[in-house]
Amino acid sequence: MVLMGEKPLTDIELEHLARLGDARAFGRLIRGMDDDLRGVVWNVVRSQAAVDDVMQASYEKAFKAIGNFKHQSSMKTWLHSICYRAAIDYVRSEKIRTHEDFDLVGETQVSDSGLSGSDSVTQRGYVKGLLAELDPDTRAMLFYTTGLGYTFDETAEVLGVERGTVASRVSRAKARLRQIAGDQNE
């Protein structure tokens, strides 16, 4: 809580308070990252109901573990890693590969300039169909690098893989998407 005349707490101060068990400080700390984290989880699980479940579990896990956070990476990277792994675990445990849920929260945005409302929905549906052809790990890599603008190195750190794995899978995914799009347009 910031009283009148007091300066707002920094992320470092919020992190310190969260490590001491302050749930409100933890909530304020993650608030600015929530949209990106939800976007990553959405691109893995492809269901809004699953996103909500995974996010709740991820935040609970992170809050319980924040006292053990060692600063080997940034707090942002640490949280992304927890959410990504929870989403992958969810997909594996539920054996879900894709979900035809047309809730568009958190997915990579398609430019709507010049498109009517129905054309925009059709375009987003088309992109969703293309992305559904990719496995969850590859969708996440593509979302981090293309949707969030992470470098291959940053994406590799979050996902716990080698940089070369990210680079090659993103390159193959883009080529595969171009191929699928070309096949569908013929």
Q: What's the pLDDT tens digit per position in 113-171? A: 343 444 444 555 666 667 777 888 888 898 899 888 899 999 999 989 999 999 999 99
Q: Are 161 and 143 in contact (CB under 8 A)?
A: no
Q: Compute how many other C-beta atoms are within 10 angstroms of the C-beta atom of residue 45.
A: 26
CATH (one of 1.10.150.20, 3.10.20.70, 3.30.360.10, 1.20.140.160) for 32-185: 1.20.140.160
State the Cα–Cα distance between residues 58 and 5, nearest whole angstrom: 35
Q: Are 25 and 9 in contact (CB under 8 A)?
A: yes
For 55-76, how does the pLDDT look when each residue is reduced to its tens digit (9 = 90+)? 999 999 999 999 888 888 888 8
| Total-model pTM | 0.66
Distance CA 52, CA 58 (A): 10
CB 88 within 8 A of CB 136: yes
What are the tokens at 79?
Answer: 């949280």
